[in-house]
Amino acid sequence: MTKTYRIGQIVPSSNTTMETEVPAMLNAHSTLRPNDRFTFHSSRMRMKKVVKEELAAMDAESDRCALELSDARVDVLGYACLVAIMAMGHGYHRESQKRLTERTVDNGATAPVITSAGALVEALKVMKAKKIALVAPYMIPLTKLVMDYIAAEGFEIVDWRALEIPDNLDVGRHDPAKLPGIVASMNYADADVIVLSACVQMPSLPAVSEVEAMTGKPVLTAAIATTYSILTELGLDPVVPGAGALLSGAYAPEKL
């Protein structure tokens, strides 16, 4: 029986990628599971420069966004800014998810909330990763903040690259075709997983299969992790063609 799920997305105002890559993956999922259909609904938080002050001000708007999306009776909400969550302190994704879910409960339209930060952390656990290599678009101080957050969750970062792109629109314009060359310059031999984009704004989906073939390593992105969390939260098979190891079907919950 066909069912249509409403996907809510809490999105930075300057984000142009979350509303393309996640829908692309969920619609690709529908080619394998034709009874699973999706519609997409967004609410935006103001943010232009990827700096800690703007990120904190933006995060304060997330409660309003959760409330607005719950008016639409969405089935799940995805908070689409990894660095905004990680900039708020270690473990903040748990606090954010709990608080925003409570906003939906208070509105009489309970919906689970996923953050891209929490989804990435949980995906690394699902993949049983211990060591990772990581690419991020942020300036070096924010990249180190992200790495500290991930390390606090129990992972070792063996190598990393910060692309130092301060403007969030420019992050969205970064050519994913450049990513294989960036990874080729890294020392990823000891990594269990390569995080090709620790940011849902930096496009990466077109490069995932190429980097997996080039390195022989599983490749993960924040958007892939978010899509996996959305599918599993809805009780659906986490399978998407061409979206890397995590969504290959090898990590379906019943197989864990």
85 closest CA partner among 37, 150, 134, 154: 150
- Looking at residue 239, the DSSP 8-state letter turns out to be B
Between CA 209 and CA 218, with CA 213 as vertex, the angle to 5 degrees is 70
d(CA 114, CA 37): 19
Residue 49's DSSP bridge partners are: 167
d(CA 220, CA 196): 6
Between CA 6 and CA 51, with CA 81 as vertex, the angle to 5 degrees is 155
d(CA 96, CA 60): 10
d(CA 64, CA 42): 12
d(CA 133, CA 196): 8
Backbone angles phi, psi at 11, to 5 degrees: -125, 135
Which residues are part of the catalytic machinery? Answer: 81, 199
